Structure 1
Amino acid sequence: MSKNFTLNGNGHGLSWGAPGTASATIAAGLVYENVSHDYDGVPSVKNLSLSVAPGEILCLLGHSGCGKTTLMRIAAGVERQSAGTVLINGMPVAGPDTFVPPEKRGVGLMFQDYALFPHMTILDNVMFGLKKLGATESKAAAMTALGRVGLADYAGDYPHALSGGEQQRVALARALVPRPGILLMDEPFSGLDKRLRDSVREETLAVIRETRATCIIVTHDPEEAMRMGDRIALMRRGELVQHGTAADLYNRPADLFAARFFSELNQIEGKVTSSGVETALGILPSNGMPEGAADVCIRPQGIVLSKSGLCGVKGRIRSKRFVGEVDLLTIIVDGLERPLQARVRAGSEWTTGMDVAVTTDPKDVLVFPRS
């Protein structure tokens, strides 16, 4: 078999197969009802309820140890919850009196380390989950899946002969070839370098969309969650902090933890009055907060500068650093213990030591009760 090696746009690996050739599946809905789990008495998931609609891509987002991988493994049947119920298409698959084994749930699982069998060829790895089919039919399905991820010419090779990005594609093909109604992916891109990760992520998303499978992707990267998920479920210490679209979580974070997860913040003290929030930067919008002490958070791009003497409070630029598309500025303002961090367009007129007037862009100001 001839092998046509083609570098993709960023110089890594093989090109992917033709769009529209992935086999479609019948998407399934997934529901967690008051699910709890613990490891030797230490809680990992706490009374969590969450619904994933058929065909939806949900990103489980949070720091390491927050329970997101455990929640995914509970859906797969690899872990059993200590309380609550898991339903697929409205039917309980795990609960107080029910436990459907993993192989009967119609759930595909893609592990973080890909878990390919090193002694099996690429084709045999992909065929592994097709034991109910005949040899001819199984091989045809596996070759179709490998063709979609651009690895049909490498079916007879072994995993060690492939790069990390190509092994990720094999794992994706293996997870999808049984045509699961639900696909679970545990940090599938964490082992790839950034340039390769971006391209593989976009191609993987295209394949998932073609199959129409319901998909849960575990990640700790907020940008990845925003780029891939129809919705995001943000977790902290086994609990669901917020569930919604990327725009919901970014523009209307539930609390300071959620706000910090999606962007850098300048945090200053404030007091909400009938006029707004009184701060060292002047009176800012209260965004409906009740009167009292508040934490005011301003994204770096929300710090607006103008020449000294114009509208705004007086500040002085302590440092300026060029980082490509933007300049990062550190600004000292009277009344603030910590300097402000600002992002402005690269090549700006601002220089170290310059006096400036500082105001804010209301859309980048978030206000929370004092923590």
Structure 2
Amino acid sequence: MSIILSAKNLTKTYPGNKYRSLINFNLNVEKGQITALLGESGCGKTTALRIIAGFESAEKGEVIINNRVMANDRLFTEPNDRGVGIVFQDYALFPHKTVWKNIVFGLNKLSKSEQQSVAEKVLSLTGLKGYEQRYPHQLSGGQRQRVALARALAPNPGVLLMDEPFSNIDSMKKNQIREEIREILKAAGTTVVFVTHDTKDVLAIADRVAVMKEGVLMQEGTPKEIFNHPANEYIAHFFGKTNVFQGNADENGKVASEIGVFNLPEGKDFGENVSISVRPNSFLVHTTERRGTVQVLVKKRIFMGEYTELICSIQSGSEAGMDLFVHVSSDFQATNDHLWLEVEEKNAWLMDLH
């Protein structure tokens, strides 16, 4: 696949801020790929998006879109000449214009017949046929988002940039709207970069994700890769509840811990101290003691619908007193509050302690 967007070594420091907002940020996005920039507020993800869009300049680095250099230390291309479409967090629709007029607003270089052809195409693509003469205030949040998306897609941008696209959507409707937006973007074949702080957005629609913290891109991969194989403890916790144990590696690549002995991944060397991540649904739960298990006391049971969450405390060893999250089936029954947990090697992910 061809690379449509390339950001190389982008660095940015805002005046009056002694910390850099972006540090040597690198990103390649392939044609038709949906890539998420994921992180907490202030991690640099929106700064990266704004530099790619041309709303801000980097003090160092280069932006290339469709094999054309848009910005470096000698060149700066204005946003309207970069061939990018943008969906803002608040959608930025014109309240006094109809859906139709919002969509054709950026098509002024086309003839009326060409505008009509493009508008009808994106109206059909986004499921907005029949809403042409409505105004933004007459639409639901999800419909307004689709109008903003249709307007951004109408000029056929090389790259579509989206800033927190689901933050203004009612939580009850988010899952449905995420599915709809992914279907629209894939049907259009659009190359997308979107910013979010919500891992659910990433898991629902992204092909790839770049996890950021304090201006640094910490890990990049598919959502499944990063969920199952986080680079460090921060990323493991960011992608949902997990249990992190400490282990000690020997010269033979064996890592000993309270929950078992595991092999270091091939080619990995984390030093003597290693973190081990185990997701709550990855434990084998026993009601009697077995070899290779760790004893826990169930402190609380929380019914979650499809499963029950157990909050347990380790009873002995170096991790004694540590609380664990354990997910079991909703109909799980135990005769007392003492359980024994086991972890298979395939469900234990070894990672850098830091």
- Residue 29 of structure 1 aligns to a residue whose secondary structure is strand
Provide the C-alpha distance between the structure 2 equivalents of 1:140 and 1:284, rounded to a whole number of angstroms: 61
Corresponding residue for 1:314?
Answer: 295
Aligned counterpart in structure 1 of residue 333 of structure 2, from 334, 349, 355: 349
Aligned counterpart in structure 2 of residue 66 of structure 1, from 31, 40, 43: 43
Provide the C-alpha distance between the structure 1 equivalents of 2:78 and 2:253, rounded to a whole number of angstroms: 60
Root mean square deviation of aligned Cα: 2.0
Unmatched segments (≥5 aa) in structure 2: none
Check the 8 A contact 1:289/1:368 in 2, yes or no.
no
In the comparison of the two structures, how many residue pairs are matched?
A: 344
Provide the C-alpha distance between the structure 1 equivalents of 2:333 and 2:209, rounded to a whole number of angstroms: 39
Unmatched segments (≥5 aa) in structure 1: 1-26
- 2:338 aligned partner, one-letter code: D
- Deviation of 1:122 after TM superposition, in Å, equals 1.3
- Deviation of 1:205 after TM superposition, in Å, equals 1.2
Provide the C-alpha distance between the structure 1 equivalents of 2:160 and 2:88, rounded to a whole number of angstroms: 11
- 1:276 aligned partner, one-letter code: K
What TM-score do you get using the length of structure 2 for normalisation? 0.90
Matched, 1:157 2:157: no
- Deviation of 1:369 after TM superposition, in Å, equals 4.1
Q: Percent identity?
A: 36
After TM superposition, list the pairs within 5 Å mapping 1:213-252 onto structure 2.
Answer: 213-252=190-229
Aligned counterpart in structure 2 of residue 366 of structure 1, from 326, 349, 352: 349
- Output one character per residue of 1:13-61: Cα deviation in whole Å (capped at 9) or x when no partner: xxxxxxxxxxxxxx97111111111221532111111111122211111
- Output one character per residue of 1:230-254: Cα deviation in whole Å (capped at 9) or x when no partner: 2111111111111111232123222
- 2:165 aligned partner, one-letter code: P
- Residue 192 of structure 1 aligns to a residue whose secondary structure is coil
- Deviation of 1:324 after TM superposition, in Å, equals 0.5
Aligned counterpart in structure 2 of residue 280 of structure 1, from 252, 258, 261: 258
After TM superposition, list the pairs within 5 Å mapping 1:1-371 onto structure 2.
Answer: 29-42=4-17, 43-273=20-250, 274=252, 276-287=254-265, 289=269, 292-311=272-291, 312-335=293-316, 336-350=320-334, 353-371=336-354
Are the structure 2 counterparts of residues 124 and 290 from structure 1 closer, same or farther at C-alpha, using a change threshold of 3 Å? closer
Provide the C-alpha distance between the structure 2 equivalents of 1:143 and 1:248, rounded to a whole number of angstroms: 39
Provide the C-alpha distance between the structure 1 equivalents of 2:54 and 2:308, rounded to a whole number of angstroms: 49
- Output one character per residue of 1:145-176: Cα deviation in whole Å (capped at 9) or x when no partner: 22322223221121111111110010010000
Runs of 4 or more consecutive aligned structure 1 residues displaced over 6 Å after TM superposition: none
- Deviation of 1:276 after TM superposition, in Å, equals 3.2
Higher alpha-carbon deviation: 172-181 or 354-363: 354-363
Provide the C-alpha distance between the structure 2 equivalents of 1:140 and 1:369, rounded to a whole number of angstroms: 54
Provide the C-alpha distance between the structure 1 equivalents of 2:125 and 2:32, rounded to a whole number of angstroms: 20
- Deviation of 1:195 after TM superposition, in Å, equals 3.2
Check the 8 A contact 2:302/2:309 in 1, yes or no.
yes
Provide the C-alpha distance between the structure 1 equivalents of 2:352 and 2:80, rounded to a whole number of angstroms: 47
Are the structure 2 counterparts of residues 313 and 200 from structure 1 closer, same or farther at C-alpha, using a change threshold of 3 Å? closer
- 1:44 aligned partner, one-letter code: S
Check the 8 A contact 1:321/1:327 in 2, yes or no.
yes
- Deviation of 1:302 after TM superposition, in Å, equals 1.9
- Output one character per residue of 1:166-213: Cα deviation in whole Å (capped at 9) or x when no partner: 100100100001111111111111111233121122121111112212
Corresponding residue for 1:4?
Answer: none
